[in-house]
Structure 1
Amino acid sequence: MDTVKNYLSVAFFAFWGGLARYGLTEAFSFYGTVIANLLGCFLLAFLTYFFLRKSNSRAWLTTGLGTGFVGAFTTFSSFNLDAFKLLLGGQNFGALLYFTGTIAAGFLFAWAGKQAANFAAGKLLERG
C-alpha cells in the first residue's frame, strides 16, 4: 500500500511541479530555466534537511515533494540545451558562464536551503 501511495504522491506533485516550471518558462523565457533550477536546488535541500530533522515526516509526502514536485520543476535537459544553443550561436563565453555560473549558484542555493531547513526545523523543535 505504501508503494501505491508513493507513486500517487509523485504523480500528484509532479503535475504541479511541471505546471510551475512551465509558468516560469512562459513568464521569463530563457531565464525561467535558470530560476526553476536554482529554486529547485534550494527546495530539494530544504525539504531533505527539514524532513530529516522531523522524526514524524511522512515518506509519501517527502517522496512526492522531492521526486515529484522538485523533479518535475527542475530541468537538467533544458539547462544543457540552453547552453548548447549558446554555443551554436557562437556565444562561447556566454555558454561557459551560463553553465559554470548555474552550477556554482546551484551549490549556493542548496547550501542556503539546508541552512533555512535547519533553522526552520530547529524553531519547530523548540516550540515542541
Structure 2
Amino acid sequence: MTYLLVGIAGFIGSILRFTLSLVLSPFHPTVLPVATIFVNLIGCFCLPFITFYIFKKYPIHSIYQTAINTGLIGSFTTFSAVSLETITMFEKHHFFLGFIYILISLFGGISMCRLGLLVAEKKEKS
C-alpha cells in the first residue's frame, strides 16, 4: 500500500513541478533555471513545515506521511536537475551564473528549511 501511495503522490508532485515550470517559463532567462530554483526552495520550506507542524497538529498514519514527504515533495523537488543544469551552464562557459546557481540552491535551500522549521515552531506555540 505504501508504494502505491508514494507513487500516486509522486505523480501529483511531478505534475505540480511540470505545471510550475510551464507557468514560470515566460520568466525563465536563457541561462539561469528559475523554475528549478523556485520549486526546490518551496520544497525546502514545505518539508520541515509539513513534518514538524502539520503532522503534529493533524497526526496521520506514517504511510501517508511517507507518501507526502517522499512521493509528493520528493518528486516536486529535484537535485538531479540542479546538477545537470549546473553542468550545462559550465559547459556553456557561464561559470559565474553556475556558481550563483549552486549558492542559491544550497544556501537558499538550507535557509528555506530553517524558515520552515521556524514557522512550524511559531505556529505550534500559537
**Shorter-chain TM-score tier:** 0.7 to 0.9
Question: What is the percentage of aligned positions where both structures have the same residue?
Answer: 28
How many residues are matched? 119
Paired residue for 1:9, among 2, 5, 14?
Answer: 5
What do the CA deviations read for 1:65-123 (whole angstroms, capped 9, x no partner)? 10010010001111111111110111111101111221100011001111122223334
TM-score (norm 2): 0.85
> Amino acid of the residue matched to residue 66 of structure 2?
T
Distance in 2 of aligned mates of 1:92 and 1:116: 35
Moved over 6 A (4+): none
> Amino acid of the residue matched to residue 114 of structure 1?
L
Distance in 2 of aligned mates of 1:45 and 1:55: 15
Note if contact 1:51-1:62 (Cα within 8 Å) is conserved in structure 2.
Answer: no
Which residue of structure 2 lines up, in the alignment, with residue 71 of structure 1?
A: 74
* Compared CA separation, residues 98 and 62, structure 1 to 2 (3 A): same
Distance in 2 of aligned mates of 1:67 and 1:121: 23
RMSD over aligned Cα atoms? 1.7
Structure 1: runs of 5+ lacking an equivalent: 124-128
Distance in 2 of aligned mates of 1:85 and 1:95: 9
Q: State how 1:39-118 maps to structure 2 within 5 Å.
A: 39-50=42-53, 53-54=56-57, 56-118=59-121
Residue 101 of structure 1 aligns to a residue whose secondary structure is helix
